[in-house]
Amino acid sequence: MQTFTVIFAHGRDSGPWGAKIRALARVAEGLGCRVISRDDREIRDPELRAARLIDATGSIDGPVVLVGSSMGGYVVTVASQAVRPTGLFLMAPAFGLPGYAVQVPKPVCRELTVVHGWDDDAVPCGAVFDFARTHQAMLHMVPAGHALLEQIDWLPRIFELFLGRCMELDCRPASERLMATI
């Protein structure tokens, strides 16, 4: 099995090694994944962040998993159209907000999980529900605000299950993997 690369994209007002990313990175490293957490704090434009992420993945060999929080969730979803990762793990993705070129971008991946807080005051639940329903995503609505920090102990557990499913998909014979994407 090839080594997976897990790439994290942080939110607009956070940084590359916040509490959530550190917790999830430990899980990924524990499963033998290479971890990259991009520092895009100086870039406020989500489309530019997505373009930079696409460029950065061009030299990566092996399967890729993209993880994004808030604006980072939007960024990895947009980037997925070019990167075509095995999986997308989205936390409070910034969908349905003014100022974004695409209100609800189309994900391109084989495994899709979304975690969103019931008390999120930045991203409306309706846009996330619609996205999850449209794309048949695994959706976890949790008692938390936008940062999801109330669930910092639970997030690594669900992320480990998600990564396990991604790795399982990659181990299937090519003919089965093709069937899973149709």
Residues 67 and 44: their CA atoms lie apart, in Å, by 18
pLDDT for 116 beyond 60: yes
pLDDT for 178 beyond 80: no
Look at residue 182 in the predicted model and tell me its pLDDT.
Answer: 35
Q: Mean pLDDT across the stretch 78-85? A: 97
Structural domains of the chain in order of their starting residue, each with its CATH number: 5-181 (3.40.50.1820)
| Cα 37 → chain centroid | 12
Look at residue 131 in the predicted model and tell me its pLDDT.
Answer: 96
Share above pLDDT 90 across residues of the chain, in percent, rounded to a whole number: 83
Q: If you average pLDDT over every residue of the chain, what do you get? A: 92
- DSSP for residue 32: T
pLDDT for 103 beyond 70: yes
Q: Mean pLDDT across the stretch 115-133? A: 95
Look at residue 13 in the predicted model and tell me its pLDDT.
Answer: 85
Look at residue 20 in the predicted model and tell me its pLDDT.
Answer: 96
